[in-house]
Every structure is written in C-alpha cells, then in structure tokens.
Structure 1
Amino acid sequence: MTQPAPHPERNARWRMIPALVLLAVAVAGAVLLRDELGFDALAAHRETLLAYRDAHYALAVVVFVAAYTGIVAFSLPGATVATLTGGFLFGLFPGVLFNLAGATVGAVLLFLAVKAGFGARLAARIEAEGGKVARLREALARNEWEVLFLMRVTPVVPFFMANLIPALLNISLVKFAVTTAVGIVPGALVLTSVGSGLGEVFETGGRPDLSVFLEPWVAGPIVGLVALGVMPIVVRALRRGGL
C-alpha cells in the first residue's frame, strides 16, 4: 500500500520553525542580554578572559568562534563588541581570522534558516504577483554579486538586515556566503585592529574610538571598493540603454 504524499503546507510550516526560533531568541536576547554583551561587560571580565585564554588557548578559540557565531545567527546585540574582543584576546592576527569565521558561519546559519522558512515561498509569490517588487527582484538578479558585496562593504545596511534580505529574496547560498566572507573583511580588519589595542584603553578607563572609520586611510580604500562594486552595474545599465 502506498504511503500518502506529505502535505506541502505542513512541510512549509515545519521549515519555518528554525527561523521562528531564531526570531524568538533574538527578541529575548535584545531584552535580556544587552548589558551582558556590551563593552562594559568586556571591561569587567577582561582579566578572566585573558587568564582563560592563556590557560586554554585552543579551547578559548573554539568557545570564542562559537559564541560569535551564536551572536550573529541569533541577531543578538554585541557583534561589534565581539569583533573587538577577538582583537583584544588574539591580536590582529589571528584574531581577524577568528572574527571572520564566526561572523560568516553565523550569517550563513541565519540565512539558511530564514531562506528555508520564507525565501522560496516569498520568491514564488513575488514572481506570481508581479509588480514593482518583482521588477526589483529581477533587477537584483542581474547584479546579485555586486549588490550583495556592496551590502557588506558599506555601513548603510545593518549587518543583520544584510543577512535577512538575501534570504527573503531567495538568493543562492554560494553567492551569499562568498560575498559575505569577502565583503566583511575591511570592517573586520579595522575593528580587530582597534580591539588589539584595548589594553591601553582599559588602563585609562576610556572607550574604543570607532571614529577611525572616518580616517582617510580607512575610508579611502572602502570608498574604492564601493566604486569597484558599482562600476559593473553602471556599465551593464549603460549597455542596456544602448550607450
């Protein structure tokens, strides 16, 4: 006797569970963990963290990357402080590598959960209904690599939104993962470098100066990367216009 085929709507509801769990944890974390994942918490526990790193370096790396991954995957407050912590504990190198690993894996996990729950269904609905949103999705499809890269390398789009939007638009995992891993490198390098100098900041009772992003030696290369990302889009637009 043949088994009845699984009900599509029931399967769709099951696929939404991981995304809903992430949403619930994100809301709870925003309320309960904001003070625990801030800079003041890092300052208060810095000696304990350093002692643990010195006693169990390999395990400290694993715990740090896992914690960073969780912060990003659950969209918890504290991603910037986590990046600073990576620099404080492990230096610019290999700290930046640990930061990139945690941020990329966390972003991919969030992307997969949201895409499985909503991405395919939303993309199908957009295509079926047409209209402005469908035209926007079509325009994005022509420039996916460049747009995804620009979302990462510029501070205009918040990090968690840059994880959600591609998932909701049903972007491919490969394009999302590659542009994420590459696009967050400039910001990760700067923040990890700032974090590597937190020892002196703690000694003076100050706070990290993130205005470094406005310095010409930082802003200049980022603007150059943005220009490189925009150029192919402009060229394709001009060709379609027959110019």
Structure 2
Amino acid sequence: MRADRIKRLAPIAVILLVAVVGIVFLRDRLSFETLAANREALIAHRDANYVLSAMVFVVAYIAIVGFSLPGATIATLTGGFLFGIFPGVLFNLAGATIGATIIFLAARFGLGERLAARMEAVEGRIARLKRGIDENQWSVLFLMRLLPAVPFFVANVVPALLNVRTGVFVVTTVVGIIPGALVYTSVGAGLGDVFDRGGAPDLGVIFEPYILGPIIGLCVLAALPILIRTFRKGDVA
C-alpha cells in the first residue's frame, strides 16, 4: 500500500520539486530582459529553422507550464514576437493546454480520484459543494479560465481534485484561455517596436476596459447556466 501511494504521488511531487528549483534558479533568466537581450539570435534561428524553432518553442512552453516554472507570460509574449499573432497564438494555446493537462493528470492520479470519493462520501457542505460543481462543470471551469484573477496553476489543480473528466478539462482549458492568449500574443507581436524604444510591454493591458469588458461578458455567459439551474431549483422548491 505504501509503495502504491508513493507511485501515485511521485508525478505531482516531481512537478512541485522542479517548480521550486525553477523559482530559485530560473526566475531571473526567464524574463523580459533576457528576451530583449537575445532577440536577434532568436530571430536568426527562427528564420533559418522555422519548423524546428516552432517545435522547440512549443516543447519549451509545455515544460514551463507542465512544471509550473516561472516565465509563462514571457513565453506567451515570445510566441507572439517570433511567430506573430497567427500562428503564434496557436503555438501558445498548444503549449499552455498540453502543459496544463500534464499538471491536471499528475494531480488527478495522485490525489484527485480518492479525494473526490471522500468528498462525495461526506455529508454536509463539502458534499453539496462537490455536487454543485459536478452539475455545473463546464460553466465553473470556463469561469476559472476566463477570470484573470484565478492563478493558472490553481485552475489546473482544482479540477483534478474534483475528479473532472479529462476531456472536459482539455476543452474548457483551450477555449477558456483563448481571450488571454490572444491579448498577450498580440502584445508580443508588437515587441519589436518596444525593444527599439528601450521600453517594456504593458502587461496590464488585459485590465483595460475595452479588453476586460468583453471578457466579463464571456464570464456572464459562462455563469448563465448556473444561474438558470439555481432559479429552476428555487421554483421547484
């Protein structure tokens, strides 16, 4: 039993260990300054080996997200800088979704199934919360992805702890992160002018009304099924 438990927890333990090492040793390297200092070399490599550069970029993005390393935002900017809004946004979406799925599966394999079973077996608020989320999985997961305030790591782990199906997780992830990916990829696509001016990108642009407004609208649409179910239950009661 002990060996089985160690085997189940090993993937998430490795991710956490690599994440800690990454925070200690890579925080200063995966930065905007590093991207600015190496932009000419990156562009030259892309021009000489476009397909290989795209593959290496996606794999690096997967590693950054999959091991919760610092620099996911810089990676998204880099995707836009090297490959433009399109296909850069596709590369960013692929890297982020696959990396997120790695964390999700590791957490689900190690903790999710048993924790979800315990939550269902316990009566009271926890069980009602679990049932409420199960009834509104699509809406809840979309909201977690759309809301800029929800950390990406949290949005990867929480569904695993609630034993969300892998297919539901993948679909809600790739669709839910499209707005943010488009915004930051477009910012990355304009980094050439920013570098020439010696400035820094405005990463707070996602909170500008003309961008945040549509995202809030999408959040309302995602929450609408939850509200409808709540009102219907109230009418029945």
TM-score by length of 2: 0.96
Task: Write the distance in 2 (CA, Å) between the matches of 1:13 and 1:118.
Answer: 11
Mean Cα deviation higher: 215-224 or 93-102:
215-224
1:203 to 190, 196, 206: 196
**What letter corresponds to residue 211 of structure 2 in structure 1?**
V
The alignment status of 1:32 with 2:25, answered yes or no, reads yes
Residue deviations 1:40-80 (CA, integer Å, cap 9, x gap)? 11111111111111111100000000000000000111111
Report 1:42-81 matches (<5 A): 42-81=35-74
Q: Are 2:92 and 1:99 aligned?
A: yes
For 1:124 and 1:10, the matched residues in 2 are separated by 21
Gaps of 5+ in 2: none
Say whether residues 1:153 and 2:146 are aligned partners: yes
Residue 124 of structure 2 is matched in structure 1 by: 131
Residue type of the partner of 2:34? Answer: A
1:83 aligns with 2:76: yes
1:141 aligns with 2:134: yes
Root mean square deviation, CA, Å: 1.2
Superposition pairs of residues 223-242 of structure 1, within 5 angstroms: 223-242=216-235
Partner Cα separation in structure 1 for residue 92 and residue 186 of structure 2: 11
Q: Does 1:170 align with 2:188?
A: no
Deviation of 1:12 (Å): 3.2
| CA shift for structure 1 position 165 | 0.7
1:133 positional shift: 2.0
Identity of aligned residues (%): 59
Counterpart CA distance in 1 for 2:198 and 2:19 is 31
* 1:107-163 Cα shifts (integer Å, max 9, x gaps): 011100110011011112222333322221111011100000000011121011100
**How many residues align structurally?**
236
Shift of 1:93: 0.4
Are positions 1:219 and 2:222 aligned together? Answer: no
Q: Which residue of 2 aligns with 1:187?
A: 180
TM-score scaled by length of structure 1: 0.94
